[in-house]
Structure 1
Amino acid sequence: MFRRGSYNVNLVVENRETTKKALFRVPNRGYIPGEFAEKKVKGEVMTLKRLGDRTNISVPSVHCWGPAKEGPHKMTSFLVEEWMPGESLEGFLRNPQTSKEKLMYVFEQLARIMLELSCQEFNSIGSFSKDDKTGDWAVTGSVLIPEMIDTRAYFDIPIGHFKAMDQFKISTDYFKHYAEYLEELLETQVRSGCEGLENDGTTERQRNARRGYAKLIPEYAKDDSGPFVLYCSDLRPNNILFDPETMEITALIDLEFTNAMPAQFAYDLPWWLLCERPADVIIDHGMEEFLKRFNPRKEMFLEAMERVKERDPMALTEPRLSARMRYSYDGSKIFWWNRISESSRDFDTLYYEIFGNGE
């Protein structure tokens, strides 16, 4: 079985004698800049090992991996991991015929997963690895998020054009770096004559929005000095496998964009409960329609989280994750701040809708 996605090319291989399967993965060379290929593979390997060591979350085990010099024809980094059974959760969540009982059963499993992820703490922001000699885990590299890859694809701008993202000791510095990136991305688009940036006041409005974002950092950078928490920017239903017969989640996959991040990302409601980007729903149908669709799912997920907390010792910490999630969405604008802090593609739509008109 061969499958090409945006970030990876995947090949399922089977041992004819044992019938055991493995998944051979390499970065998609047509999409992933060469300087990020090895970092992306290493990030996924370290995430799989960390979750395998420290949690009960089902993830593929790593058979072997290596840099380009050890890969096929020495062309690219590679990863061979356990093949995991199951179907994408996306179809299940999108199906209007899915019963509330089945949805709640799956949501409780997702709640336990998010609870375990939120307990994986580090003392700085960045990519992490394990010291093979001591067995200790620590942040040892810079952050790698999908935005850094997608900038090249959506805007045809090499990510090397921007100031390199480093490790950070406080959340404020991370968001300041992102604010600088947003401003530089806009100015680069203006200089290159990107479509949609007309001389009708639109560009100045966008500049004002980015300045406004920078001014809001002191208000929205929470838990500034940590601890920082394991967070996967690309965790969404099509990267979650489940058994449609038993309704059991069988694995999380495609975890290469996992970092130690400001905890507010991990303490947030899943934006993907509708299997659609919030900004896309708002653009196509308006905020009222988004709230009409999202809020019932939000309440169900929080109910599932509440059920989990009653029987899971990890959920007894204060404040509880369910309370943090509710505050992020209902009691503040942190949910929306986190969305504009993950995707430049969604920035203008959500900033104007939630934080101001950019004027």
Structure 2
Amino acid sequence: MQNISSLKPSFDEIKKTEGEDECRAWLTKIYGAEDELAEFVATRLGTGRAPKYVDFLTGSLNISFRFKFSDGGPDTIIRFPSPGPTATFIRDEKVANEVQAMEYLRQNTTIPLPRVYSWGLTAESPQQFGPFIIMDYVEGTLLSTVLQQPTERDQQDLVLNPSIDNSQLDTIYRQIADYLLQLSRLTFTHIGAISRDGDTWSVTKGPLTHNMNELAATVAGYPTSLLPTSTFDQAGDYFESISDEHLAHLFTQRNLAGDREIAQARFIARHGFTRLIDQYLIDDDGPFIPFCDDLQPSNMLVDPETFQIKAVIDFEFTNAMPAQFTYDPPWWLLLSGPEAWLDRDSMEEFRDLYEPRMEQFLQALESVEGTSGGQTLHEPPLSTRMRDSWRSGRFWFNYAARKGFAVDAIYWAALHEGGDGIELLSDEAREQMEPQIERKMQQLREYEEDHAALFFDETSFRF
């Protein structure tokens, strides 16, 4: 077994480059259309006079243009998902799902959300730039910026400032704990995207997740025909679908294994995940709870003086999910996820840093639970369920389910128990392993040839 750091995410650089080229071409086009976008915003809002363009805001998956109205009304943004980071065929569905989720949460929680004024699909947008949301611009500082340790020049991962004032952190934790507690009380009968029919909210179409987008966008070359399109009425069936997704990812991304040892480690890990479904599955028949894996400080705007959260943004890829996802302690308590430590083979360092912050968060959650008024409380409480998730290791199983590029490192660092893993494979999987490893090595040879040809041609052209 190789060290964990050898299993860090490996993207398809050919697909990634194609996506970046697509995104650059789109940005060149849309950056010259500010006046047209201003007129479009005015038309959609029925204001008559076009607003003034102020600036643009960029995120990992979206770009927004900010506009100011002469009548003193609130600034407005129009937001588009960027092609490349978001798979083209997913963009319309992503925006439609997000708008529905935001409206549902606005009606059923007190989570502060930007007000959506208008939205539409690609066919309705200027020059078919893509699906869009027109909503309030909220003044504030990203909570991640407030919480993060000052970074070194070459540091990529956000890290929680170890010197942060605990009273300030408690103020923040109590607010987020309240949001999570409210979400935990909302239930559906199926797993999938949330939508409304008249006055009724339900789940009538399959889930669209962040991991599905990553696979289908530009970093894996994953066959989109393999993505699920229907709802699930049992959590076990959903986890089986995720297991199939993990295995299909291994078999289809040509450069996912750089040598035979890594190919074997990934093969064992993904079959090992499947074997653990029955062990970690709870509440198979539901309820299913609205879950947003991106509900984290980098998507929260805060007043940096009072530490009051002013808005939670980016509810893309929100779905009704197995309840056990909601019952996990937040993965972002150190700002970056566990992958940042797994990439350095530093699981013990992660645990040592994470557990005190988890306990602080859970104490804040207990405080919120104790003052939640007459609402029906969980039995057991959400804080107890979160402690059990961490104690039992379910936290890691659930995290591996949602992280297709990190599932292997998570499995070997936190879920595997002794041995080289081969002895745990089924007879069928053991028979398949060597042929699949050879297949991965053949795919790698073909990928490296294509990669060398592509980048050699590009270099020759440039020079």
TM-score, normalised via structure 2 length: 0.73
**3-state SS of paired residue (1:155):** coil
Contact 1:309 1:315 in 2 (8 A): no
Matched AA of 2:189: N
In structure 1, what is the Cα distance between the partners aligned to 2:128 and 2:213?
22
State the partner residue of 1:47.
101
Q: CA deviation at 1:160?
A: 1.1
Unaligned segments of structure 2, at least 5 residues: 1-54, 149-160, 423-463
In structure 2, what is the Cα distance between the partners aligned to 1:304 and 1:4?
32
In structure 1, what is the Cα distance between the partners aligned to 2:409 and 2:128?
43
Moved more, 279-288 or 31-40: 279-288
State the partner residue of 2:188.
122
State the partner residue of 1:6.
60
In structure 1, what is the Cα distance between the partners aligned to 2:134 and 2:333?
30
In structure 1, what is the Cα distance between the partners aligned to 2:263 and 2:257?
9
Equivalent of 1:64 in 89, 109, 118: 118
How do residues 338-349 of structure 1 correspond to structure 2 at under 5 angstroms?
Answer: 338-349=398-409
State the partner residue of 2:29.
none
**Residues 59-81 of structure 1, C-alpha deviations (whole Å, 9 max, x = no match):** 11110011112111234111101
**3-state SS of paired residue (2:89):** helix
Q: CA deviation at 1:335?
A: 0.5
Matched AA of 1:341: A
Contact 2:66 2:137 in 1 (8 A): yes
Q: CA deviation at 1:4?
A: 2.5
In structure 2, what is the Cα distance between the partners aligned to 1:78 and 1:127?
18
Contact 1:40 1:144 in 2 (8 A): yes
**3-state SS of paired residue (1:58):** coil
**Residues 330-349 of structure 1, C-alpha deviations (whole Å, 9 max, x = no match):** 2x011001110011111111
Report the RMSD for the aligned CA atoms in angstroms.
1.6
Equivalent of 2:171 in 105, 111, 117: 105
1:137 and 2:201 aligned? yes
Matched AA of 1:103: L
Larger Rg: 2
**3-state SS of paired residue (1:306):** helix
1:87 and 2:141 aligned? yes
**Residues 7-37 of structure 1, C-alpha deviations (whole Å, 9 max, x = no match):** 1111111112224111211110232222111
State the partner residue of 1:335.
395
How do residues 154-165 of structure 1 correspond to structure 2 at under 5 angstroms?
Answer: 155-165=219-229
Percent sequence identity is: 34
Equivalent of 2:271 in 190, 200, 211: 211
State the partner residue of 1:289.
349
In structure 1, what is the Cα distance between the partners aligned to 2:227 and 2:302?
40
Moved over 3 A (4+): 152-156
Moved more, 174-183 or 275-284: 275-284
**3-state SS of paired residue (1:341):** helix
Unaligned segments of structure 1, at least 5 residues: none
Contact 1:125 1:168 in 2 (8 A): yes
1:27 and 2:81 aligned? yes
Equivalent of 1:173 in 237, 247, 252: 237
**Residues 306-356 of structure 1, C-alpha deviations (whole Å, 9 max, x = no match):** 1111111347331100000010002x0110011100111111111001121
Equivalent of 2:338 in 278, 282, 290: 278
Contact 1:282 1:289 in 2 (8 A): no
Contact 2:269 2:408 in 1 (8 A): yes
**Residues 258-298 of structure 1, C-alpha deviations (whole Å, 9 max, x = no match):** 00000011111000000111122133251221111101101
Matched AA of 1:98: I
How many residue pairs were aligned?
352
1:320 and 2:384 aligned? no
**Residues 74-111 of structure 1, C-alpha deviations (whole Å, 9 max, x = no match):** 34111101222221111222233321111111111111
1:197 and 2:258 aligned? yes
In structure 2, what is the Cα distance between the partners aligned to 1:269 and 1:257?
19
Q: CA deviation at 1:196?
A: 3.8
State the partner residue of 1:355.
415
Matched AA of 1:242: V
Contact 2:88 2:217 in 1 (8 A): no
Moved more, 222-231 or 21-30: 21-30
Contact 2:243 2:273 in 1 (8 A): yes
Moved more, 107-116 or 8-17: 8-17
Q: CA deviation at 1:154?
A: 6.1
Contact 1:149 1:159 in 2 (8 A): no
State the partner residue of 1:185.
249
**3-state SS of paired residue (1:271):** coil
Q: CA deviation at 1:159?
A: 4.5
Contact 2:61 2:86 in 1 (8 A): yes
How do residues 226-241 of structure 1 correspond to structure 2 at under 5 angstroms?
Answer: 226-241=286-301
In structure 1, what is the Cα distance between the partners aligned to 2:279 and 2:269?
16
In structure 1, what is the Cα distance between the partners aligned to 2:225 and 2:252?
9
In structure 1, what is the Cα distance between the partners aligned to 2:395 and 2:265?
23
State the partner residue of 1:148.
212
Moved more, 201-210 or 252-261: 201-210
TM-score, normalised via structure 1 length: 0.94
Alpha-carbon spacing, 1:123–1:48, altered in 2? closer, same or farther (3 Å) = same
Matched AA of 2:270: R
Moved more, 310-319 or 1-10: 310-319
